[in-house]
Amino acid sequence: MTSKDRAESEETSSGYGSISRDVDAVVRTDFDGHTSVDVTTTTSGAEFKEIGRNAAPLMITFLLQMSLSFMTVVSVGRLNALDLGGVSLANVTFTATSAIFQGLATCLDTLCPQAYGSKRYQLVGLYFQRCVAISTLFAVPIALLWWFSAHALRLVVDDPRLVVIAARYLRVMVSSIPGYIIFECGKKYLQAQNDFTTGQYILFVCAPLNAFFNYLLVFRLGMGYIGAPIATSVTFMLMGISIVAYIWYQKGRNGDMDCWNPMCNWRPIFSNWEPMISLAVPGIVMIEAEFLAFESLTILSAKFGTEALAAQSVVASIQTLTFQVPFSTGVAASNRIAYHIGKKRINDCRIATKTTIIQIGVILAIANFLFLVLGRKQVSTFFSKDEGVVALAVQILPIIGVNQFADVFNVLAAGVLRAQGRQRIGGILNILAYYVVGLPVAVTLGFYTDLGVKGFWIGLGCGIFVLSIGEVYCVWNSNWSQIIHDSHLLHKSTQGGNL
């Protein structure tokens, strides 16, 4: 490698905060003539700072986005118990099925940063456009499911009044799908370019607007519970429009680094979908497997009475909030490592991965554990004033603290797997961990011992520990040269072979 080539390979104009060094490099050439470089342009400290800096706005973004559905429960909860029950049922259905769009968008965690790192800038925009098109195709059965949800809900809910409320809610939410898809894909498109704040700024405006719309429609205009899904749908529409407006404003401003694929060149958008779907489907499995496992516990908790169900809802809400910290960090790490893969820098990949798993992982695991154990009484009281509910939640939270200690490493390792394009491994491990180990042990401990709801969380924790060990093992023994080679072939195939 000449000094000129080395300088070009180590340039920092991408804005990713790489540290440029004049170092010798070992160039590996595989059987296909593809090269990867054993060159180090970063340090553990630089990776720690970069990933942490990008994770902070992501945490705020995810929390604000969560607040949209939370606000509907808060507003409708002031009406009556029947409306609240119906809306809660609709929210669970909405979250479970709309998570498919989040899973589809995870393929962009792999493709867009890798393409950006390898300077295939126009591919970043093409991947975004393809993912929107694929998600729109998947949206058709989801929209039909929501529109005719009453038929499915009657099979699991006895009260027909709850079914009517939930079904009407979901019909309105069909109109939220375009904005939801575009915002999810748009976030990934911008994150690949090291823009982790635009989504946050959009939600800084839209989240308060959502609260205002809920108040206006539900109470001031007297629309009742149906005003809540209208408010949420309008908010998602505004989010989608806002991110498209920003992308359009950004288009063409970066010169040679412009990532937009011209819409006049529309044929590639609707071709070569197979590589993206091969990444997206395991991404859906990873998200849905975990979500459905946790939701199953809430449904099963009803067998132990109202107090147990309420306590389960409290600790599940707390667990969801604390989960956002490692999840946001995992997304930031995924983008960073995928960028290094695009640059074909093996040592940088290794450094970023070890920094994520060892340094960041240990800090977050300890922080989450201490928060859930030491602050269990205070945080439980914030969610409920019922002494019986709080007492049971206080007993469960230390178990969740132990689970979260392991889950941090699982979430971060999953981010690395997405960066590598190995979502299939994560999907298989999720199914095995939750449905072969976690849920069977949880049901056994919950129903056949005196542990009750606590047994559910202990059993699920067993699955989480198995998942963490499996994913960390796979990440730790990564063949980075092969991963970089596979990445090259993947981008080549998505272009139809035209490099």
CB–CB of 405/369 below 8 Å?
A: yes
Average pLDDT over residues 260-279: 86
Q: What per-residue confidence (pLDDT) applies to 4?
A: 38
Give the sign of the dihedral formed by CA 311, CA 312, CA 313, CA 317: positive
Q: What per-residue confidence (pLDDT) applies to 34?
A: 53
Average pLDDT over residues 122-147: 95
- Residue 344, classed as helix, strand or coil, is coil
Query: Average model confidence (pLDDT) for the chain?
Result: 86
What are the tens digits of pLDDT across the range 92-117?
889 889 999 999 999 999 999 999 99
What are the tens digits of pLDDT across the range 182-224?
999 999 999 999 999 999 999 999 999 999 999 999 988 889 8
Half-sphere exposure of 24 (CA within 13 A, CB side): 1
Closest CA to 127 of 246, 336, 331, 268: 268
From 139-143, 407-411, 417-421, 485-489, the region with the lowest mean pLDDT: 485-489
**pTM value?**
0.86
The answer on pLDDT for 60 being more than 50 is yes
128, two tokens: 């975004």
197, two tokens: 């704040």
Average pLDDT over residues 60-88: 82
What are the tens digits of pLDDT across the range 148-169?
999 988 887 778 888 899 999 9
Q: What per-residue confidence (pLDDT) applies to 147?
A: 96
Share of the chain above pLDDT 70, in %: 89
The answer on pLDDT for 21 being more than 70 is no
Distance CA 187, CA 40 (A): 29
Closest CA to 429 of 444, 414, 416, 449: 414
The answer on pLDDT for 20 being more than 70 is no
The answer on pLDDT for 30 being more than 70 is no
Q: What per-residue confidence (pLDDT) applies to 308?
A: 77
CB–CB of 414/330 below 8 Å?
A: yes
How many CB atoms are closer than 10 A to CB 159? Answer: 12
What are the tens digits of pLDDT across the range 283-333?
999 888 888 888 787 777 767 776 777 777 778 878 888 888 999 999 999
Q: What per-residue confidence (pLDDT) applies to 207?
A: 94
What are the tens digits of pLDDT across the range 326-357?
999 999 999 999 999 999 999 999 999 999 99
119, two tokens: 């300077």
DSSP assignments along 372-429, one per residue: HHHTHHHHHHHH---HHHHHHHHHHHHHHHHHHHHHHHHHHHHHHHHHHT-HHHHHHH
In the chain, the N- to C-terminal Cα span, in Å, equals 22
406, two tokens: 């392991």
Rg over CA atoms, the chain: 23
Distance CA 272, CA 493 (A): 7
